[in-house]
């Protein structure tokens, strides 16, 4: 903030680090994106802190086919919280520091062992919930898990497979109702 | 729309516009009564409902802070958000799953049926079940409940096919696509369900009943409803005669306003209703308004809720279709041989990808967790909703540490589970596992409990003996004649049924009573 109480625009634009990656060739987003390379500015964490946090996210929720760009969204959200709130910033940066600078370079078993040790810490718990709430809401996760998302604009699933399961017996008519609009 | 004067002491002030308050406002206005309806949230519409699950959550949810304690799951998983209720016009009817079973006859005689259960404060309802039935029929017709009032059932979704097959394998008989307040055919000026699977985010079809687009616009059409949005009630005042006389609230600009009233009806959902009564303490009502019995906030019930999620060999796509159109009624009985008093329903749940981990699986991490999530296409889910035991110390109090944006203490929610609740949950988990395995599940997981309470009950309960609760059989407080409670707070015991249908039935009944008493000049 500047002395007159008006937020200084430069504070908002101050970049402290950057996360970069490259979408896998087969990634659904790669078909749409102008370029497969991506870069994400950080405004509270350094590049190294961001990389550690991304590695924590991948270790907490390891989906091998899911692109790093989805995990970067988790780091981006944590970074935004840290930029807004000094207590969150301290929680995250202290937590990251406790893992050591080599964390991201170790193998998965070592990373899991390191996280097990801090499983009950406020840092781990807060970041785990952050990862749960952000990762599975990204378009990349939708594509990875096959979730089809918003349906209203497409007329719901009434004619798009809400009842297309054929590997179990059909439900007798008395236990369910007719499909509206279907030929009887 | 009329704008009544703040010093107009002839109006009825209703606080909260959800199932209870929205219905009551409509019923009173159509009887010629002038109503000021105070709603703390904003007004959304079918157009403005977000279909991005986490945006919709932020759009509709009551996110003001709360605190919680006790051994129940929300105190660990979501201590600042122990209950998931709404703050928006239409209240929790915007985000509810619209599951509408009735309370069973023996549940209204809980104390008599279960006998003395140690560590509980069970009582019987002061209303007979036959009396309730009359209002259930009216409520079901109004809400267009499936399989009731001549309405067809919901068609069978993929997720329900799994539930049905599993339930039959487990030997259950009363298995069907549920009683839901969702149009299975176009009626009531609203379209039929197009199987979007976005019930919880706000139904953009308006096929799901919500006071936002049924009761409230109909009340407005009478010309007698003054709906004030972003109006947060902070205190109910009384006169020297002990009658309530005004409601103090903060308007959208944060300015304090004082609306005079002939009658006040509180329908803020059981946690906020209790908080408002406690905040309204004075020299005359030193423990809080209508609290001479010291029962305001006590006997808080939230149902035994538990999720079972399973993966199968082949796809289910559980997110497609009405989220909760599936019900097993066989366990909604009282059979002490199962090892607990009371019963539970088994209900279908279809989770969107974003909500699944937060609502049903907020616990684990690592390869094990991720590999289960990787089966999302092939998942099916059910939940149990059962009767929990009222306990005097499971209660809403005013937080000693946290305050809201207006500087008022927030609600503190304390719950210690009763052994009966735990025994019921464990039985439900075993039965849900049997169902899932019967349908061919590869892997079955249960949640620890529910990460949030969604059914909040009992904090100003109806009772025949004024020492046992807060209101009489009409939701009229024993202490103050012109003060009514019009939401789930009045439930004398939790029963197993999802509460909204009963809240609406009681609001319909209460409106008749208030109108009669006003005409007779008794209030």
Q: Which residue's structure tokens are 């025949």?
A: B464
Q: Is pLDDT at A25 greater than 80 in this prediction?
A: no
Instruction: Count CA within 13 A, CB hemisphere, residue B96.
Output: 26
**Assigned domain for B6 exists:** no
Dihedral sign (CA B56, B62, B67, B69): negative
Residues of A in contact with B365 (CB under 8 A): 60-61, 115, 128
Between B164, B184, B373, which is nearest A171 by CB?
Answer: B164
**Assigned domain for B1 exists:** no
pLDDT band at B433; cut points 50, 70, 90:
very high
Q: What is the CATH number of the domain that holds B181?
A: 3.50.50.60
Per the CB < 8 A criterion, the answer to whether B261 and B11 are in contact is: yes
Which pLDDT tens digit goes with each residue over B470-518? 999 999 999 999 999 999 999 999 999 999 999 999 999 999 999 999 9
**Assigned domain for B275 exists:** yes
Measured CA to CA in angstroms, residue B78 lies from A73, B75, B414, B472 at distances of 23, 6, 13, 34
Residues of B in contact with A161 (CB under 8 A): 158, 317, 320
Verify whether the Cβ–Cβ distance B369 to A61 is below 8 Å: yes
**Assigned domain for B5 exists:** no
Confidence at residue B348, expressed as pLDDT on a 0 to 100 scale? 98
Domains of chain B: total:
1
DSSP B33: -
Helix H or strand E encompassing B458: none
CB contact residues (below 8 A), chain B span 300-359, against chain A? 313-317, 319-321, 352-354, 356-358
Q: Is pLDDT at A1 greater than 50 in this prediction?
A: no
In DSSP terms, which residues pair with A40 in a beta bridge?
Answer: A19
Percent of chain B's residues with pLDDT above 70: 100
Give me the residue spans of the domains in chain A. Answer: 9-145
Q: Is pLDDT at A2 greater than 50 in this prediction?
A: no
CA A105, CA A55: separation in Å to the nearest integer?
A: 9
Verify whether the Cβ–Cβ distance B165 to A169 is below 8 Å: yes
Q: Is pLDDT at A182 greater than 80 in this prediction?
A: no
Alpha helices in B172-301 (DSSP H): 215-221, 269-279
Q: Is pLDDT at A34 greater than 80 in this prediction?
A: no
Per the CB < 8 A criterion, the answer to whether B226 and B240 are in contact is: no
Confidence at residue A37, expressed as pLDDT on a 0 to 100 scale? 84
Query: What is the pTM assigned to this prediction?
Result: 0.95
The rounded mean pLDDT for chain B is 97
Domain range for residue B514? 12-518
pLDDT band at A28; cut points 50, 70, 90:
low
Q: Is pLDDT at A12 greater than 80 in this prediction?
A: no
Confidence at residue B449, expressed as pLDDT on a 0 to 100 scale? 84
**Assigned domain for B52 exists:** yes
Confidence at residue A184, expressed as pLDDT on a 0 to 100 scale? 45
pLDDT band at B184; cut points 50, 70, 90:
very high
The rounded mean pLDDT for chain A is 89
- Residue B379: phi and psi, rounded to 5, are -95, 150
Q: Which residue's structure tokens are 């109909």?
A: B218
Confidence at residue A15, expressed as pLDDT on a 0 to 100 scale? 85
Confidence at residue A21, expressed as pLDDT on a 0 to 100 scale? 86
Which pLDDT tens digit goes with each residue over B361-374? 877 899 999 999 99
CA B74, CA B281: separation in Å to the nearest integer?
A: 29
Q: Is pLDDT at A153 greater than 70 in this prediction?
A: yes
Q: Is pLDDT at A7 greater than 80 in this prediction?
A: no
Enumerate long-range contacts of B257-261, CB under 8 Å, 24 or more apart.
B257/B6, B257/B231, B258/B6, B259/B4, B259/B6, B259/B11, B259/B13, B259/B36, B259/B38, B260/B6, B260/B7, B260/B8, B260/B9, B260/B11, B261/B9, B261/B11, B261/B12, B261/B13, B261/B36, B261/B482
Between B112 and A33, the higher pLDDT residue: B112
């Amino acid at each position: 903030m500047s002395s007159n109480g008006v937020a200084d625009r430069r504070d908002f634009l101050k970049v402290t680090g950057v996360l970069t990656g490259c979408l896998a060739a087969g990634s659904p987003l790669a078909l749409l994106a102008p370029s497969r390379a991506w870069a994400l500015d950080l405004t509270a964490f350094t590049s190294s802190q961001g990389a550690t946090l991304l590695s924590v996210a991948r270790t907490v929720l390891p989906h091998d086919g899911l692109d790093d760009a989805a995990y970067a969204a988790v780091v981006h959200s944590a970074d935004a919280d840290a930029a807004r709130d000094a207590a969150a910033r301290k929680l995250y940066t202290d937590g990251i520091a406790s893992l050591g600078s080599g964390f991201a370079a170790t193998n998965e078993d070592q990373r899991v062992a390191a996280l097990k040790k801090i499983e009950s810490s406020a840092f781990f718990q807060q970041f785990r919930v952050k990862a749960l709430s952000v990762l599975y809401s990204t378009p990349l996760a939708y594509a990875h898990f096959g979730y089809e998302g918003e349906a209203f604009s497409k007329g719901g699933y009434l004619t798009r497979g809400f009842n297309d399961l054929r590997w179990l017996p059909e439900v007798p008519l008395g236990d369910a109702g007719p499909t509206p609009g279907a030929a009887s | 729309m009329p704008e009544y004067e703040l010093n107009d002491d002839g109006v009825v002030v209703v606080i909260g516009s959800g199932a209870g308050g929205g219905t009551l406002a409509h019923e009173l206005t159509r009887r010629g009564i002038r109503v000021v309806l105070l709603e703390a949230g904003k007004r959304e519409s079918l157009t403005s409902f977000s279909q991005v699950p986490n945006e919709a959550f932020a759009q509709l949810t009551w996110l003001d802070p709360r605190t919680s304690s006790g051994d129940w799951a929300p105190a660990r998983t979501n201590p600042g958000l122990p209950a998931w209720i709404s703050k928006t016009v239409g209240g929790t009817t915007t985000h509810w799953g619209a599951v509408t079973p009735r309370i069973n006859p023996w549940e209204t005689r809980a104390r008599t049926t279960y006998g003395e259960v140690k560590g509980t404060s069970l009582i019987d309802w002061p209303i007979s079940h036959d009396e309730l039935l009359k209002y259930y029929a009216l409520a079901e017709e109004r809400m267009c409940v499936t399989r009731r009032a001549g309405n067809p059932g919901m068609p069978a979704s993929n997720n329900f096919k799994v539930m049905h097959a599993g339930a039959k394998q487990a030997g259950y008989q009363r298995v069907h696509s549920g009683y839901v307040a969702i149009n299975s055919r176009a009626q009531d000026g609203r379209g039929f369900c197009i199987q979007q699977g976005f019930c919880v985010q706000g139904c953009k079809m308006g096929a799901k009943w919500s006071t936002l687009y049924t009761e409230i616009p109909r009340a407005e059409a009478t010309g007698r409803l003054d709906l004030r949005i972003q109006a947060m009630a902070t205190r109910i005042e009384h006169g020297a005669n002990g009658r309530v006389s005004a409601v103090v609230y903060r308007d959208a600009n944060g300015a304090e306003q004082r609306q005079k009233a002939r009658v006040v009806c509180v329908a803020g959902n059981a946690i906020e209703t209790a908080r408002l009564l406690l905040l309204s303490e004075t020299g005359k009502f030193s423990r809080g308004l209508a609290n001479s019995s010291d029962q305001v906030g006590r006997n808080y019930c939230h149902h035994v809720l538990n999720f079972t999620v399973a993966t199968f060999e082949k796809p289910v796509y559980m997110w497609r279709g009405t989220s909760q159109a599936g019900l097993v009624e066989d366990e909604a009985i009282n059979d002490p041989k199962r090892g607990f008093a009371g019963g539970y329903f088994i209900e279908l749940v279809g989770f969107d990808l974003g909500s699944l981990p937060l609502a049903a699986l907020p616990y684990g991490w690592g390869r094990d967790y991720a590999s289960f999530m990787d089966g999302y296409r092939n998942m099916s889910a059910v939940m149990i909703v059962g009767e929990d035991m009222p306990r005097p110390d499971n209660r809403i109090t005013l937080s000693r540490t946290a305050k809201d944006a207006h500087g008022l203490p927030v609600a503190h929610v304390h719950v210690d589970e009763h052994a009966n609740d735990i025994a019921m949950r464990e039985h439900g988990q075993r039965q849900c596992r049997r169902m899932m395995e019967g349908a061919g599940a590869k892997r079955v997981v249960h949640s620890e409990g529910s990460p949030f309470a969604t059914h909040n009950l009992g904090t100003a309960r109806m009772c025949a003996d004024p020492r046992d609760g807060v209101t009489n059989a009409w939701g009229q407080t024993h202490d103050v004649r012109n003060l009514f409670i019009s939401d789930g707070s009045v439930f004398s015991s939790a029963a197993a049924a999802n509460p909204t249908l009963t809240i609406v039935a009681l609001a319909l009944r209460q409106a008749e009573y208030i109108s009669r008493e006003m005409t007779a000049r008794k209030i």
